[in-house]
Amino acid sequence: MDHRRGVATGPPEQLRARLLGAWDALLPLAGGLAPERLGALAELGSWPERPVLARLLAQAGGEEAGPEAARQDHARDGRDAVLAALERAGRRVAGALDAIEADPPLGLTVLESPLGPLPLLTQVHAMAHELALAAIGSGADPVPEAITDAGVAALVDVVGALAHRQGLRAAAGVWGPGSGGWSFRADPDGWETLGGPADVPGVEGAAATVLGVPNGRAALPSLLARGEVRLHRIGGLMALAPLVEQVPGLPGGALLRRAVGAVGLLGRLPGMR
């Protein structure tokens, strides 16, 4: 039996360092934001009515999870409250990783998500994508590389997971100008998620620019025209078309939507706090 499950079966110490490193970089970024911009990060915080990580861990352990409370808007809760919620969220992510490290099969337990069934550790790791989008949306400039790199890794890993689940043989990546980045290779048996350069179809551009595409779709044609985002081996990217048929709003017609639509897939994952 093939046990390749992307980052969930990769080196656990690397996943931990990457995910917690993103949280460690977020806290000083948040502390330096003006009050009117800090609200953009409030959804990342751990709030009493949204114990998402606790629910996921309980479900993975076979426990019944109670009904999920309605999400509340905490953007106006005040600077101290938001910063405290962000600190709690980082601690809970570390606690979830501790629990999975103590019981590795727990991390491979497949649980439902808005994108369909995904392993628990895949979903926990995917938090880095939401974290990166929120940091970019806050207007912080620059956003630390520890955050954007983790966000790209999360994006690529989930797309690889979905390609595997769809039974596709596909490979793709996202990388910065000249180096770095992440790629996946998927087939019906599993998927691998790897850091560093790879000879695969993909999207090239600064991580913050590529990650920002889903929140600024109208700008995509101009980004392509200016060379800030480049598509490589579009034919290979179109192998991902079955994954993006339901992603609305991408400009540039069916070809562009299918070529780069995977960038917006994680927008349907919930906040995991």
Mean pLDDT throughout 187-196?
A: 95
Asked if 60 and 106 count as a contact pair (C-beta separation under 8 A), the reply is yes
Mean pLDDT throughout 23-48?
A: 89
Helices in the chain by DSSP H: which ranges? 12-31, 35-38, 52-60, 79-102, 104-107, 120-125, 127-137, 145-165, 207-212, 220-226, 234-237, 241-244, 253-260
Q: Which residue has the higher pLDDT, 228 or 238?
A: 228
- The pLDDT tens digits of the residues spanning 45-104 come to 887 766 788 888 888 888 876 666 666 777 777 888 999 999 999 999 999 999 999 999
Say whether pLDDT at 263 is over 70. no
Helix and strand numbers (H, E) in the chain are 13, 7
Q: Which residue has the higher pLDDT, 258 or 4?
A: 4
Mean pLDDT throughout 181-185?
A: 95
- In single-letter form, the type of residue at position 237 comes to L
Say whether pLDDT at 261 is over 70. no
The pLDDT value given to residue 254: 41
The pLDDT value given to residue 203: 86
Query: Which of 36-45, 74-83, 168-177 has the lowest average pLDDT?
Result: 74-83
